[in-house]
A and B are shown apart, each in its own frame.
Chain A
C-alpha cells in the first residue's frame, strides 16, 4: 500500500522534474541565447566601430541613441512598432513553414505581390465604406500572397522541386512582375513616367492609432493585425489538427505519411498559409505606411523576416519578440546615424551578428557558461 503510494509520489516528482527541466531548456533556447546573442553582437559592433576609427565617446553616444531611438520616447516606440509589424507578420509565415519542414525563402516575392494586390484593391474599389473596403484590401493581399506561395508548394508536392530554389526564383520573377504592373496605365499614378502606383484612398488605409497626439506618429492599426496573427499562428500550430499535421511532417515526413497524413496537401497548405501571412505583411506596409506601391516598397522585409523567424525559434511568441527587436534596431539605427554620425550599415552588421550567434547556440554557451545549466545537469534533469 505504502509502496504504491511511494511509487506514485516518485512518478509525480519525476514528471514535475521533467516539466521544469524541459521548461528550463526552452527558456534557454528561447530567451537566454537570444539575449546573450544581442549582447555579444552589440559588443562586437562596438569593436568594429573602434576598428574603423570611431572614438569611445561616439560609440557610447551611438548606443545611447540606439536605445533612445528605439524605446526612449513615444515616437521612438511608434517607429519601432511600425517597423516590427511587417517583420512579425512575414516572420510568422516563415516560422509556420519552418515547423512544417519548408525552408521558404520566398516571403519577399509573396509580400511584394500581396502588397501590390492590396493597393490595386484599394484604389479600384474606391467609394466603399471602410468597414468593407479595408478588409477586402487586406484579404486581397493575403490571397495573392497565398496563391503565389502555393506555386512553390505545388511544385514541391507534384514534382519534388526544392522550395528553396523555387521560392528564390519566384522572388526574382516577382520583382519584374511588380515593375511590369506598376507601369500598367490603370495602376500607374497619373502624370508619372516612373513605376509608381496610384494612392490608396483613406477608406482602405489602416488608420493611424496615435496621430491625434502628434501627426508624426506612424504606428497604425496593423498592430492589431500583427497581434491577432500571433494568436492565430499559435492556435494553428499547437491547437489545431492541421497544425499537428504541419509539425508532424516537419519532424518526419515519412512517419507523417505512414500515419495517414496527405503530404502533398500539407505542403501546399503550409506554403499557402505562409504566403498569406507574407501577403498580409505587404498589405499592412502599403495600407498602413506607404499608401502606394513602388518597386522598392518592401525594402527587403521578406529577407529580414527569415532572420526574425530563425531568431524567434519558429515560435509565434519568439517571432513577436524577435520582430520587435529588429524593429527597435531599425528605428534606433536611424537615431544612431543622426545623433552620432555612425553609418546605418552598422545596424545591418549587428543584426547579422545576432543571427550568427543565435544560429550557433553552442558558441554562446561557450562564451557565457554561467548563463546555462551544465550539460550533465541538463541531461540528468531530462532523465
Chain B
C-alpha cells in the first residue's frame, strides 16, 4: 500500500516533466565513462574527455559522459549507456578493463574503446589505447635530475597498476641515465622499479593524500616531485605553492598542468603528456567514418602520443645545455639508440 503511494508520485513527476523536455537527435553520439576522480581532475579524465570535446567541435558529433564515483560504478555505468544511443563507448582507465571486456562480450555489435588497457587476445569490438609513457617520463627524469639541487627526487602513484608505474619506471630510468652520463648520484624516492614497490595513495581522489605524500618526500630531501595520481597531484601542487618553487617543484602528468591548473601553474617544472585527447579523438573519428577496428593503438614519442610539455615559467631557469641534451635524448629514443627501460 505504501509502495503504491510512492510510485504514482514519481510517475506524475515524470509525466509532468516530459511535457517540457525536448529530445535531442544527433547523427552520431560518442559516450565516455570516466574513472574515479571526476571529469574536471585537471589531469587524466579531463584529458580523455577533451578528446571527445575536440571531436564534438570538429566532427559535429554529440558527446556525453558518465562519471564513475567508485570502482563499483563501472558495470552500472556501462549498463546505463546500453540501448543503442551511443555509437562508440570510450572507457577511461585500466581499472575498467574487466568491466569493459564483460560489456563488449555481452554486446558484440557495440563499438568500445578503452584507454590504458591492451587485451590479449584482442576483442573484435574493442580498440585499446595504450601509451609508451616511459619514453616521455624518461625525458622528465633526466630534466629533473639536472634541475635538482638536493640530488633527491620523489615520486608516488595512485594505484600500483601498469599505466601508473610506467611513468615512474621512465622517470627513474631517465634519472639513472643522467647519473651514468654525468657521474652524479641523484636518487629517486618512492619507486623501486625492480621490486615493483613504492609509494601509492591507493586512490585517485584525495588531494589531502597528495599533499601529505609530497610533504613526506620533501621532508626526506626531495625538491622535485612527480605525482602520478590524477587530481591527487593537485594537493602536491598546493604544497609546492606554499613552500615556494625553490624548495619544491612538481612535474605534472597526463595534461600540461600549467594550462589545466592555472591557479598554481608556476609550480610545474614541466608535465609528462599522455595525449589521450588525440587518441580518443582519432578513435571517435574512425568510428564515425566506418574505419573502426578492434585492436590496439599505441601512443609514442615518435607519433606524438606522449611528450613533454613546454617549461613555461621555468623557460629561463632550465640551462640551454640541458635543453640541448634533452633534444638529443628525445631523438635517441625515437631512433631506438637509447633504451628507456632500466
Q: Residues of A with Cβ closer than 8 Å to B?
A: 30-31, 35, 38-39, 42, 56-57, 60-61, 63-64, 67-72, 75, 79, 82-83, 179, 192-195, 215-216, 218, 285, 289-290, 294-300, 317, 321, 324-325, 328, 331, 334-335, 337-338, 341, 343-344
Q: Which of B2, B67, B82, B159 contacts A337 (CB 8 A)?
A: B67
- B133-173 vs A, CB cutoff 8 Å, 1 = contact: the mask equals 00000000000000000000000000111000100000000
- Residues of A near B202 (CB, < 8 A) are 179, 195, 295
Other than the known A63-B17, A296-B70, A337-B65, what 17 A-B pairs have Cβ atoms closer than 8 Å?
A: A30-B2, A35-B6, A57-B20, A57-B22, A61-B17, A63-B13, A69-B80, A79-B76, A179-B202, A193-B196, A298-B70, A299-B69, A299-B71, A299-B73, A300-B70, A321-B6, A338-B64
* Number of A-B residue pairs with CB-CB distance less than 8 Å in the complex they form: 124
Which 9 A-B pairs have CB atoms at the shortest separation, nearest pair first? A299-B70, A67-B14, A60-B20, A215-B106, A61-B21, A193-B160, A334-B80, A60-B21, A296-B71
Q: Is the Cβ of A63 less than 8 Å from the Cβ of B75? A: no
The distance in angstroms between the C-alpha atoms of A59 and B203, with both chains bound, is 33
- Residues of A near B77 (CB, < 8 A) are 334
The distance in angstroms between the C-alpha atoms of A179 and B103, with both chains bound, is 27
Q: Which of B5, B10, B75 contacts A70 (CB 8 A)?
A: B10
- Residues of B near A218 (CB, < 8 A) are 75-76, 79
CB distance from B87 to the nearest CB of A (A): 14
A-B residue pairs in contact (CB < 8 Å), sample of 15? A35-B6, A61-B21, A63-B13, A69-B80, A70-B10, A71-B10, A71-B11, A215-B106, A216-B79, A216-B103, A285-B72, A289-B72, A294-B71, A295-B202, A324-B3
The distance in angstroms between the C-alpha atoms of A221 and B71, with both chains bound, is 22
Q: Is the Cβ of B75 less than 8 Å from the Cβ of A57? A: no
Q: Residues of B with Cβ closer than 8 Å to A?
A: 2-3, 5-7, 9-11, 13-14, 17-22, 31, 36, 64-67, 69-73, 75-77, 79-83, 85, 95, 103, 106-107, 159-161, 165, 196, 202-203
The distance in angstroms between the C-alpha atoms of A217 and B69, with both chains bound, is 21
The distance in angstroms between the C-alpha atoms of A69 and B85, with both chains bound, is 14
Q: Is the Cβ of B69 less than 8 Å from the Cβ of A325? A: no
Q: Is the Cβ of A42 less than 8 Å from the Cβ of B13? A: yes
CB distance from B11 to the nearest CB of A (A): 7
The distance in angstroms between the C-alpha atoms of A193 and B5, with both chains bound, is 50
Main secondary structure of the interface of A (DSSP, over half): helix
B74 to chain A: closest residue by CB? A290
Q: Is the Cβ of A341 less than 8 Å from the Cβ of B2? A: no
Q: Is the Cβ of A31 less than 8 Å from the Cβ of B64? A: no
Q: Is the Cβ of A321 less than 8 Å from the Cβ of B3? A: yes
Q: Is the Cβ of A71 less than 8 Å from the Cβ of B7? A: yes
A46 to chain B: closest residue by CB? B17
Q: Is the Cβ of B67 less than 8 Å from the Cβ of A35? A: no
Q: Which of A31, A64, A70 contacts B18 (CB 8 A)?
A: A64
Most buried by A among B18, B76, B81: B76
CB distance from A367 to the nearest CB of B (A): 16
- Residues of A near B11 (CB, < 8 A) are 67, 71
CB distance from A81 to the nearest CB of B (A): 12
- Residues of B near A75 (CB, < 8 A) are 79, 82-83
The distance in angstroms between the C-alpha atoms of A328 and B70, with both chains bound, is 17
- Residues of B near A71 (CB, < 8 A) are 7, 10-11
- Residues of B near A341 (CB, < 8 A) are 64-65
CB distance from B10 to the nearest CB of A (A): 5
The distance in angstroms between the C-alpha atoms of A351 and B10, with both chains bound, is 15
CB distance from A339 to the nearest CB of B (A): 8
CB distance from B82 to the nearest CB of A (A): 5
The distance in angstroms between the C-alpha atoms of A296 and B31, with both chains bound, is 24
The distance in angstroms between the C-alpha atoms of A175 and B66, with both chains bound, is 27
A63 to chain B: closest residue by CB? B17
State whether A338 and B71 are in contact (beta carbons under 8 Å apart), knowing that A60-B21, A61-B21, A67-B14 are contacts in the complex: no
State whether A343 and B17 are in contact (beta carbons under 8 Å apart), knowing that A216-B82, A285-B72, A289-B72 are contacts in the complex: no
State whether A193 and B107 are in contact (beta carbons under 8 Å apart), knowing that A67-B11, A296-B203 are contacts in the complex: no
The distance in angstroms between the C-alpha atoms of A300 and B81, with both chains bound, is 23
